Amino acid sequence: MRRPPLRPTLALRITVSFALGALLVSSAVAVGAYVITARLTEQEQQRTAMRQAYVNASLARARLRDPQADLPTILGQLTSGSSTRAVIYSAGRWYSSSLLVSRDALPQQVREQALAGTPVRAWTRVDRSPQIVVGVPLPAVDSAFFQLFDVSPLERTLNTLRNVLVATAAAATAAGAGTGWWASRRLTAPLRAVSAAARRLAGGDFDVTLSEQRDVELADLVASFDSMVAALRSRLERDARFAGDVSHELRSPLTTLRTSLSVLQARREELSSRGRDALDLLAGELDRFERLVDDLLDISRADAADRLEDPEPVRIAQLVRTLVDPVPGCRLVIDPAVEDGVVLGDKRRLEQVVRNLLDNADRHADGVTAVVVRKDEDQVEVRVDDAGPGVPAEERELVFDRFTRGRRAGRRGSAGGTGLGLALVREHVRLHGGSAQVTDAPDGGARFTVRLPLRPS
């Protein structure tokens, strides 16, 4: 199934939107504040400069009427404040209040306009300090007065203001992103809770519930999820119990059949040969029927359990030896390191594991050739090799399924198997916290390997 490409996570999208929103609003506010403040203060400065320049210009004019006037002294008096400097053009010569400014500090346009008789105001820079320059023509004395006002403090203030506004906008953006992140987490928390619950459910944990989710918007989802879990659970339990109940109910008729059969078998000699054949068929199939009933019960119990009830110490080497010793033509190798090894488990189930592996080799693979019990770190490994054709790679998982009818299963007809033997091996081993698998034996056949955790000694 092809799925459409995934979009970036919801959380990311929400976070980014919040951050962008905050950035937009905060930068608009910052830019507006900066522009308005800058214009108002600049206009204020210009007005002040003009006023002062005109006052000074008229003072200068008054002094210049005196032909003996000492221009440098006049300039010094006019610019006793440190932040302004003055330049006077008089009788074709330039005079300056400071060595730092001269004629050249005045923009050419300012000079020309003032000398042409038009008052002028402009912005310029002297040694990189911003200045307001005001030029006032003094035609009565055939001069022009220029004054430069250093507005560095204004520029510094505006710079500081700009920095503060940028920082504020950045902080607002970050706060927006944070709020977005928090909101998205908050918003997606129920989604994550639902998905975690679904994962647990898929893992077979039916104790899962969403009832700790208290959001009103989720009430429906919580209720339907919880009731789905309950329905699923009771369905599974009913299925498991049904198999168990069927298997129990079959026991009484089976007992009667088996008991009556043994009465007949005791009189075998009184029967005709056709009667004897029928009796043998009956006995064989009854055996198989009985094993099937047992296996069904065991499988349904294994389905109902996820761990063993009161495990007991089982000496695994001894258990394998007891079951394998009577098998003709089978080599048994027991690693001395595992001779006293103990598996905490259920003796009956462990016997069934070994017995089913032996039966399986018998039924489908011309018998078992070797059984090896060895220690593998903190596990015991039981290997059962057979003389058959092995299990093809694509069937190696399938053979452990219930009622599998693979090529291997069909090899010798039904041959009395229940179709549940290897499934039970896997279930029992799983209950003991171990694993079961099949690989190739070195000399051809199949090798079934069961690993079980050993009790630490």
Partner 1 sequence: MAGMAPSVLVVDDDDGIRSSLRLALEDQGYRVHEAVDGESAVEELRATAPDVVILDLMLPGIDGFECCRRMRRTSDVPVLIVSARGDSHDVVAGLEAGADDYIRKPYDVPELAARLRALRRRLRPADEPDRVVAADIVIDANRGEVSVAGRPVQLTKTEFRLLYELASHPGRVFSREILLERVWDYGYLGDARIVDVHIGRLRAKIEQDTTNPSRLVTVRGFGYKIDG
Q: Which residues bind partner 1 (CB under 8 A)?
A: 248, 251-260, 262-263, 266, 290, 309-310, 312, 322, 351
Nearer to partner 1, 13 or 348 (CB): 348
Q: Which is nearer to partner 1, 290 or 401 (CB)?
A: 290
Strand 342-345 relative to strand 368-376: parallel, antiparallel, unpaired?
A: unpaired
Three-class SS state of 101 = coil
- Residue 412, classified by CB atoms within 10 Å of its CB into exposed (0-12), middle (13-18) or buried (19+), is middle
Whichever of 71 and 343 has its CB closer to partner 1, that residue is 343
In terms of CB distance, is 253 or 456 closer to partner 1?
A: 253
Query: Of 290 and 395, which has the nearer Cβ to partner 1?
Result: 290
Residue 166 or 283: the one with the smaller Cβ distance to partner 1 is: 283
- Contact (Cβ atoms closer than 8 angstroms) between residue 93 and residue 99: no
**Smallest separation (angstroms) from partner 1 to the CB of 203:** 27
Contact, 210 vs 193, CB < 8 A? yes
**Residue 301 near residue 335, CB atoms below 8 Å:** no
Nearest approach in angstroms of CB 7 to partner 1 is: 54
Q: Which is nearer to partner 1, 226 or 351 (CB)?
A: 351
Q: State both tokens at 116.
A: 């042409």
CA torsion sign for 404, 408, 414, 419 is: negative
Residue 4 CA to residue 395 CA, distance in Å, equals 34
Query: Least distance in Å: CB of 201 to partner 1?
Result: 28
CB of 368 to partner 1, least distance (A): 20
Q: Say how far apart CA 240 and CA 234 lie, in whole Å.
A: 10
Angle at 452 between CA 449 and CA 457, to 5 degrees: 135
CB nearer partner 1, residue 133 or residue 320: 320
- Choose between 312 and 397: whose C-beta lies nearer to partner 1: 312
Q: What are the φ and ψ backbone dihedral angles of 410, each rounded to 5 degrees? A: -85, 0
Q: How far is the CB of 412 from partner 1 (least distance, A)?
A: 26
Taking the complex as a whole, the smallest distance from the CB of residue 344 to partner 1 amounts, in Å, to 14
Both tokens assigned to 404: 């599998």
Within 94-218, residue ranges assigned H as helices are 108-115, 152-202
Min. distance of Cβ 418 from partner 1 in angstroms?
15
Structural Rg of the chain based on CA atoms: 51
C-alpha distance from residue 341 to each of 146, 375, 452 (Å) = 109, 9, 11
Nearest C-alpha neighbor of 32 from the set 21, 44, 40, 43: 40
- Going by DSSP bridges, is the β-strand pair 446-453/435-440 parallel, antiparallel, or unpaired? antiparallel
Minimum separation from the CB atom of position 286 to partner 1 (A): 9
As measured in angstroms, the least distance from the Cβ of 322 to partner 1 is 5
**Spatial distance between the Cα atoms of 372 and 363, rounded to a whole number of angstroms:** 20
- 124 touches 152 (CB < 8 A): no
- Nearest to partner 1 of 211, 457 (CB atom): 457
CB of 318 to partner 1, least distance (A): 8
| 3-class secondary structure per residue, 372-436 | EEEEECCEEEEEEEECCCCCCHHHCCHHHCCCCCCCCCCECECCCCCCCHHHHHHHHHHHCCCEE
